[in-house]
Structure 1
Amino acid sequence: MDPISVKRMLLWFCIIASTHGKQCGQVDDNYRFDCHPELDASQQKCEARGCCWAPGKSPARDHAVGVEFDVPYCYYPLDYPGYVNGVPTPTEYGFTVNLTRTTKSYHPKDVMNLKMDVLYETDSRLHIKIYDADRRRFEVPIQTPPFTSKAGNPTYDVQLAPTSGFTVTRKTSKEVVFNTTINPGFIFCDQFIQISSSLSSSYIYGLGEHRSSLALPIDWRRFTFWARDQSPSPNINLYGVHPLYYNLEPNGDTHGVFLLNSNAMDAILQPAPAITYRTIGGILDFYIFLGHDPIDVVKQYQDVVGKPFMPPLWALGFHLCRWGYNSVNGTMAVVERMREASIPQDVQWNDIDYMEGEKDFTLNPTTYKNLTKLVADLHASGLHYVPIFYPAISSSQSPGSYPPYDTGVTDNIFTKADDGSIFIGKVWPGDAAYPDWFHPNATRWWQTLARKFHNAVDFDGMWLDMNEPSNFVDGRLQGGCLNNNTYDNPPYVPGVGGNSLYSKTLCPSARQHAGLHYDVHSLYGLSEVRISYTTLTNIRKKRPFIISRSTFPSSGRYAGHWLGDNVSEWPEMHASIIGILNFNMFGMPMVGADICGFGGNTTEELCTRWMQLGAFYPFSRNHNSLGMVDQDPAVFSKASQDSSRDALLNRYSIIPFLYTWFQMGNANGSMMARPLFFDFPYEPALYDIDTQFMLGEELLVSPVLTEGATTVNATFPPGRWYSNGATITGEPPMTFTKTTSVVLDAPLNKINLHFRGGFVVPTMIPQQTTTKMVENPLMILLVCLDVDGTAKGHMYWDDGESIGSFENGHYTWWSFSAKNNEMMSTIDHDGFEGSSKMSFFGFLVEGVSTKPTQVTANGQTCQFEYFQTSQILDITCPKMPFNKPMTLKWS
């Protein structure tokens, strides 16, 4: 900038600083928006930006990671100059408007001319893009719905303010769901973009991946987005990036806001309530979803990013892993221990110790040379096998000795440093190169390696770890990152762990086929799972199963997620529930935590309670770290084994119910694990509950989360609830007209499960593997009558592994309904040949207030037993095919 321009800039700052006195005093503390988010703010620096300075509650203000903020000392005056709205021009899908500013902001490289496209995509989905009017900028390369036609009857109204900013209002309630006029500090520079909006209430959820409460704190809390190899901890960015939030409105309606941006970003919540986004690249690409309830918003979000993948049936069983089996024999010993204890297991995993020198696509020639035989033995027993894979490829061996690196060099698929050489970092195998999953040769390269390895080890799924991408050094192994580079060291650095963008990862100046790593860093895990999904599909010709550590919006189309390197401590169980609920909000229902904890040594009581909880994670896997005590459920006392077995048998019995919900998620975005208030959005007493959760609409899980506890303080939404006790002679049904807290007995051998009245839940006689269960499926219908004697339900079934079963019609779909002392089963679609093998084993009808004298099924007399205390009717009928209509009557 020339000296005259500098003088003009300083003069402008002085003028606005001297004229803002009354504007500063009019700003309520909760509505102060931070004008100096960088470190070391001072009055002089603040006022040089034309902003207001006034001390807040604390004597000093520190932006270090992990330190909570409070009222900003430096904040924008009400008349801070910004972008001015032009005259809107109607378009085929809404309207467009030019935004211009005549004075530069305090950040370098202002974009003075912006364009805002307002797209009425559906009646309840609004799409707003704000971008450089003169120069193309990076946009996230994920598939989103194409524009087909303008919404015919939108439920929202968009209004431009007279000068700057805009509002989005729900037409029915007049609730303002997005309002950028509250903060004049809208800034759009090359490497600093900031925009704020009001929130409809203080109840906001989402903004992942972070360790926090379910209902997010709005006490000036900062949530940073930048994928990082970081064990779960509060106030720091973790493995994935999901800039999506859900906000409850005062009348119980819900809306969601999704910012499609992959650059490093902060989101700050403050008590106004309001949110401020600060991102250091890309554009502002907002989707706003208006729903009547949170589940509707989840579905709308998945309409944009894609529906979750349909898992194979075996993936719903119990998984077991550890780092440190140390050999094939050590792995198989645990499998045999599980068999001897008759504890269900469907999948055995191996961590990094199966590799030679921690290198992908290798086997330790001493300890794992017989892995091929182990996998064959697992398959013969009806189990499945999943090994770990890392993205980083060892680069230090002599040429010609390690094909994954040699062919990667030939195919030119490795990420490049800023000087054009292969970027070398350090991970488990030592010096390592990082595949560029956006490169057009990457799919062929990865698939060739995976196919060759699969020919030797017949694996069934892929576990993708360390794909943030992780690095054991900051930046390049030799030289780190360039200090004078504005990508490695941008003008503003969000609150990332390590205080630099390249902490524990690649230099942002590294080059990939889709752009600078600066732009695509948080897409690394997504880009790997997309290729791995295609690879596994082509190799096995069956439904893929992939679990990934790093995730981004649309990852759920290809993979599930585990919550990372937790520890064997009691609070981690509570945290796992919150993480699982968040990822279901993010369109990733196949999610779980390492049961009993990854790091540290568990105790028998902790692991017993965690097995009870983990049995009802959508993705149920016990996994622990090298050097820790064994924690597979068969290693503990008989009492603990019995408890874990009972919990897992309960899980296996409801696999038809779980499988149906996964299919509905795949077909229409229906949500698997959900907070209690998602089904009861007009019950404020449920808004903070994050120690319990629902599976589908039907099942309430209330685990013990504290050491030594033998009771649970559980909250029940309105309705009728039936206990899944140890015996059918257990507790009577509970009926509530309003949200109610109840103290439940919870001895060490019990987890409290309650089925919701008004639903029919399909169940199956459990066995030790899902493979055995589907050989001769024996079905039991659990009919949970509502107070009016009605119930309804559905069930989906296919062969459990074929690709496109639903799309090709190769499935069977049942509907169940009950009223007036009868239950009907109808077949809406029968395209799965195997449904003819399925038969009714019996029925449990809950909520029958008086003992009947007769029970019939399709006119045939059935045997029954009635339990007055629990109001359960236990029915056994002559064998009937499950794929034929059936009418059950009791009178």
Structure 2
Amino acid sequence: MKSYQKLATDIPQPTESYAEEESIDGKPPCLRKLSTWWLGVGLLMIVAGLLSGVTMWMLRQVSGSQHGQTPLEKCSAVPEPLRFDCYPERNVVVTKELCESRGCCFIERDQPLGSRSGVPWCFYPPDFPSYTLESLNQTELGMVGLLRRKVKAYYPRDIERLQLSVEFETDTRLHIKITDSTSPRFEVPLEVPRAMKKAENPVYSLEFSKEPFGLLLRRRASGAVLLNTTVAPLIFADQFLQISTILPSKFLYGLGEHRSSFLHSLDWSTLTLWARDVPPTESYNLYGAHPFYLLMEEEGAAHGVFLLNSNAMEVALQPAPALTWRTIGGVLDFYIFLGPDPNMVIQQYQQVIGFPAMPPFWGLGFHLCRWGYGTSNATWQIVKAMRNYQIPQDAQWNDIDYMEGYRDFTFDPEKFDTLPQLVEDLHKHGQYYVMILVWPGLTAFPDFSNPDTYQWWLENLNRFHARVPFDGLWIDMNEPSDFKDGSVDGCSPGELDNPLYVPAVLGGSLSAKTVCASAKQSASMHYNLHNLYGLMEAKATASALIQIRGKRPLVISRSTFPSQGRYSGHWLGDNRSKWKEMYWSVPGVLSFNLFGIPLVGADICGFSGTTSEELCTRWMQLGAFYPFSRNHNTQNEKAQDPVAFGSVARTAMKEVLLTRYALLPFLYTLFHRAHLQGHTVARALFFEFPQDVITYSIDKQFLWGQSLLVTPVLEPGVDSVIGYFPRGVWYDYYTGSSLNSSGESLKMAAPLDHINLHVREGAILPTQKPGSTSWVSSGNPLRLIAALSQNASAWGDLFWDDGESLDTFERGDYSYLVFNVTQNVFTSTVLHANVEATYITVDVLSVYGVREKPSRVTVNGKENPFSYLDNQVTEPPQRLVCPSPAQRRPAPSPSHTLCSGSGRVMALSRGREFVAVRLSGWAVQKGRHFSLLLCCPLAAGLAPPSEPPVWELPRECLVLLPALHRACVPSGGNQERGRAVSG
């Protein structure tokens, strides 16, 4: 008999049929000497055995027929992408008999499944029995209904009667909840808003299927079906809850925390949500649990779905496209957000879970850490070296090596005897100190669901702060992580530690490298609270820091859950020093901005393994644009802080950090918008260009806010990078040179000391002259960059306060300025001011996209000196082609100096005989920007480097410009623009 098996784990095989657990009374008979009596007994035993066999056979038939046998033609009619798994258990050899005992279809594939992915052999038939909607009544906020199951499900303790609650909370938010109608069940203790009245003009409509029960959610404007749960049965047992839906497109994001591309694959993949300590690896469940997804619909609209459930769960994705939620506890508590654009979806999600906290200004500076400094003096030397090279740094961190015997609230009196003096020195230089809190030894885990633990935590931190006045706290291993599986005494054999169904967790057990699920906590069992542990610790830690310091807290946590952005940021865990890991960090940062935790970043240069100078330089360039920027590595590996490298790499790292510090006013304003309105800080391109389907899969570039495009180099040995530019004008951040894109990918020069940044047309960025710390920078004048749109307008804003006080916006202790350019006039308007506004001055205004040199510039009615740099808008070619022989023109001389200075190879295309090269740079003779398309025989050996001082072109190179009078000329046919700088 053919069979298949899912991913092997340590989960015991479930019983095939509950009837088999029954036994026959086997009391021994009394001893008798009569042979006839023995014969009678033997006959009776035979009859009893036959009756037992018949009884078990009949019970098996009931088990198999309670859902009805499904004809093969019905099973074959189900398309493969729509086959929903009826036997998702792992470590079970699924046979036709087992499958059909559940009333499901069994169709063999060519190859048995050796992993958790692939078309299931055992799947639900179209008429599989589910719940029936028996009643539906109107309420003030929506509807309440009663669901009833007439046929028992195949999981024990299935719940016969369910309550359906539907609340039309806002015009763009729908709340659907399914729970036991008779007995209370665990629900996540999360503060969520309560609607006061029913939505008046919802942008959605909701329909119901009575039997089998199902929901059909549509977007009114387009008629698009966003949810359709009739495609597979609803199952609601005590320890197994399952609901499926069709999706309107394949563009699905979120559902963390995982190491994956930003856009999820729907090719029979499974995402597991159960907090786990493990170096980030594809397909593993990682540190946090975020049961929220964002989906881009076919016509550019977006919606989101949030399942408020903290139990172990998995989400199965399949190419229909469709999705199945499976969880082993709690209730099905869904919030659906209708957008209609992705930015609004995330705002609506955060209206439910809470907006992120406003970080302290210094928290946006550069942070430096490693495990293995060894002593406080060694740590201090790194700080001094960073100062000596004038490399920006705001915070110095220490890992567990500062502790005495690896005990919390202690520091080593010998190796870290000067730690208090180090912290004092940091404070004198306007810098800050952050230390780790973790339990690396024998541990009793604090129960942060108990309010009394908050006071205990505060008292211990307060005593320790009196000795070492730390400014922020790093809470690690709070999944919680255990070096053993469960307790030192093991876990119980009960159903909490050994549920019949275990989602696809790493290790196959809920207690793998963590606490026993049966552990008792104040609020509930750990079975229900495990995924909440990091959130609860972050909340307690932020509260303690506020009470101790009286200022905004900085807490960075490894384990996270929805709403945690209100209390902490997050770093992406124990990554490795590899190029692929650097790439993975970009989807990670983008995902956590979806989850409402914008203060996020990866360990720059990698935590484990040995980095290289090239990798670390490129990673520092990328990491300078993480919202949370920290370089951190492990012990027993070579140092990777900026001062550990040679002058070339060190200088490149310093320059990119200076760029970050120059942009801190812009970044700080983005965090204010996140705190006030739930905006993302780092965002995917499709957030701003939802109609451009090409952007849906881009996760090697990202935006800061609406207007700063970051294109990092993510692979070794290259001096160029390909970036996608959505339709519009984009300005080089550094030079102001502009590019008019129709929506295309372009190859850009990217030498080792350069990361490409572009400003979107219509934006005004507030920047500053950078200093060595955020405090020094904050006292410097502003430098505004206005990137004009094609109608010569631009807009920007600035939020400014003291950078550390609590609730400055709520108390009105801030300044808010709006900048605007229209009709050749720049204006700055103060919409709200406090004492901090008196320190805001503007030193330089740079206007990108000025078409002609101004005759004069006036400031407040008085003429002001200015400079004008002539630039152009480049019209990028769709492709580079070599001409026919009749079109070729000879170069002016056998060997002619084409250009010098900043010329760059913009694109390169090789054919069979020729190489086509687009060169862009500055002409020697005229000081004008040029763009040339050259076509040279491969035999000439033309292989121009990315930034040569001089290019010598052989005679055979043929120039395609129709009118060539000089070797370097401005591009023909392009609209010239320039950059006016007012000082």
Same fold, judged at TM 0.5 (above): yes
| Per-residue Cα deviation, 1:778-828 (whole angstroms, up to 9, x for no partner) | 111100001110101111000000001000000000011111111110011
| Per-residue Cα deviation, 1:214-265 (whole angstroms, up to 9, x for no partner) | 1100011000000000110000100000011111111110000010110000
AA at the equivalent of 2:209: A
CA contact (8 A) 1:864 1:873 kept: no
Distance in 2, Cα, partners of 1:876 & 1:179: 58
* From 307, 310, 314, the counterpart of 1:266: 314
Distance 1:15 1:100, change over 3 A: closer
* From 87, 110, 117, the counterpart of 1:36: 87
Alpha-carbon deviation of 1:55? 1.4
Number of aligned positions between the proteins: 825
Query: 1:839: which partner in 2?
Result: 841
| Per-residue Cα deviation, 1:382-427 (whole angstroms, up to 9, x for no partner) | 110000001x4xxxxxxxxxxxxxxxxxxxxxxxxxxxxxxxxxxx
Matching of residue 754 in structure 1 with residue 758 in structure 2: yes
Query: 2:772: which partner in 1?
Result: 768
Matching of residue 667 in structure 1 with residue 718 in structure 2: no
Alpha-carbon deviation of 1:202? 0.6
- Partner-residue secondary structure (3-state), 1:325: coil
AA at the equivalent of 2:505: V
- Partner-residue secondary structure (3-state), 2:527: helix
CA contact (8 A) 1:468 1:521 kept: yes
Distance in 2, Cα, partners of 1:18 & 1:665: 55
Distance in 2, Cα, partners of 1:18 & 1:385: 67
CA contact (8 A) 1:20 1:77 kept: no
1 or 2 for the larger relative contact order (CA 8 Å, sep ≥6)?
1
Matching of residue 732 in structure 1 with residue 737 in structure 2: yes
Distance in 1, Cα, partners of 2:191 & 2:408: 30
AA at the equivalent of 1:751: I
Alpha-carbon deviation of 1:5? 11
* From 857, 860, 869, the counterpart of 2:859: 857
Query: 1:417: which partner in 2?
Result: none
Moved more, 99-108 or 14-23: 14-23
Query: 2:787: which partner in 1?
Result: 784
Distance in 1, Cα, partners of 2:70 & 2:731: 67
| Per-residue Cα deviation, 1:617-672 (whole angstroms, up to 9, x for no partner) | 00000000011100001111111111111101110011010000100110010110
CA contact (8 A) 2:871 2:979 kept: no
CA contact (8 A) 2:70 2:104 kept: no
Alpha-carbon deviation of 1:162? 3.3
Q: Report 1:670-689 matches (<5 A).
A: 670-689=679-698
Alpha-carbon deviation of 1:13? 1.8
Alpha-carbon deviation of 1:101? 0.5
CA contact (8 A) 2:63 2:101 kept: no
AA at the equivalent of 1:875: V
Query: 1:305: which partner in 2?
Result: 353
Query: 1:886: which partner in 2?
Result: none
| Per-residue Cα deviation, 1:21-59 (whole angstroms, up to 9, x for no partner) | 3321211100000000113211110011110001135x2
Distance in 2, Cα, partners of 1:806 & 1:502: 44
Distance in 2, Cα, partners of 1:742 & 1:7: 70
When the two chains are superposed, the root-mean-square deviation of aligned CA atoms in Å is 1.3
- Partner-residue secondary structure (3-state), 1:687: helix
Distance in 1, Cα, partners of 2:651 & 2:400: 31
- Partner-residue secondary structure (3-state), 2:98: helix
AA at the equivalent of 1:554: S
- Partner-residue secondary structure (3-state), 1:339: helix
AA at the equivalent of 1:792: W
Alpha-carbon deviation of 1:363? 0.5
* From 366, 379, 383, the counterpart of 1:318: 366
Distance in 2, Cα, partners of 1:702 & 1:33: 40
Alpha-carbon deviation of 1:6? 9.8
Distance in 2, Cα, partners of 1:15 & 1:530: 49
Query: 1:21: which partner in 2?
Result: 72
CA contact (8 A) 1:56 1:70 kept: no
Mind listing any 5+ residue stretches in structure 1 that lack a counterpart?
Answer: 393-427, 878-891
Matching of residue 614 in structure 1 with residue 628 in structure 2: no
- Partner-residue secondary structure (3-state), 1:157: strand
Distance in 2, Cα, partners of 1:6 & 1:444: 61
Q: Report 1:122-521 matches (<5 A).
A: 122-163=170-211, 164-183=213-232, 185-390=233-438, 392=439, 428-429=440-441, 431-478=442-489, 480-482=490-492, 484-521=493-530
- Partner-residue secondary structure (3-state), 1:630: coil
Q: What is the TM-score normalised by the length of structure 1?
A: 0.91
| Per-residue Cα deviation, 1:282-341 (whole angstroms, up to 9, x for no partner) | 000000000121111000000000000100000110000000000011101111111111
AA at the equivalent of 1:745: A
Distance in 1, Cα, partners of 2:62 & 2:192: 46
- Partner-residue secondary structure (3-state), 2:535: helix
Query: 2:815: which partner in 1?
Result: 812
AA at the equivalent of 1:180: T
CA contact (8 A) 1:474 1:503 kept: yes
- Partner-residue secondary structure (3-state), 1:868: strand
Query: 1:416: which partner in 2?
Result: none
AA at the equivalent of 2:846: L
Distance in 1, Cα, partners of 2:68 & 2:77: 15
CA contact (8 A) 1:759 1:783 kept: yes
* From 589, 593, 604, the counterpart of 2:602: 593
Moved more, 765-774 or 215-224: 765-774
CA contact (8 A) 2:782 2:840 kept: yes
* From 554, 559, 582, the counterpart of 1:550: 559
Alpha-carbon deviation of 1:777? 2.7
Distance 1:16 1:292, change over 3 A: closer
Distance in 2, Cα, partners of 1:672 & 1:825: 24
| Per-residue Cα deviation, 1:455-498 (whole angstroms, up to 9, x for no partner) | 111100110000000000001112x112x310101000100011
Distance in 2, Cα, partners of 1:519 & 1:869: 61
Matching of residue 581 in structure 1 with residue 586 in structure 2: no
Alpha-carbon deviation of 1:874? 4.3
- Partner-residue secondary structure (3-state), 1:511: coil
CA contact (8 A) 2:70 2:103 kept: no
Distance 1:514 1:863, change over 3 A: same
| Per-residue Cα deviation, 1:168-220 (whole angstroms, up to 9, x for no partner) | 1111111110110111x211000000100111101101110001111100011
Distance in 2, Cα, partners of 1:162 & 1:498: 40
- Partner-residue secondary structure (3-state), 1:87: strand
Alpha-carbon deviation of 1:532? 0.8
Query: 2:113: which partner in 1?
Result: 61
| Per-residue Cα deviation, 1:95-135 (whole angstroms, up to 9, x for no partner) | 01111001111110000100110010000000000000010
- Partner-residue secondary structure (3-state), 1:806: helix
Q: Report 1:86-97 matches (<5 A).
A: 86-97=134-145
Distance in 1, Cα, partners of 2:830 & 2:370: 43
- Partner-residue secondary structure (3-state), 1:88: strand
Alpha-carbon deviation of 1:149? 1.2
Larger radius of gyration: 2
Distance in 2, Cα, partners of 1:147 & 1:22: 48
Alpha-carbon deviation of 1:18? 3.0
Distance in 1, Cα, partners of 2:56 & 2:864: 92
Query: 2:968: which partner in 1?
Result: none
Mind listing any 5+ residue stretches in structure 2 that lack a counterpart?
Answer: 1-17, 23-54, 873-976
Distance in 1, Cα, partners of 2:583 & 2:830: 40
CA contact (8 A) 2:786 2:846 kept: yes
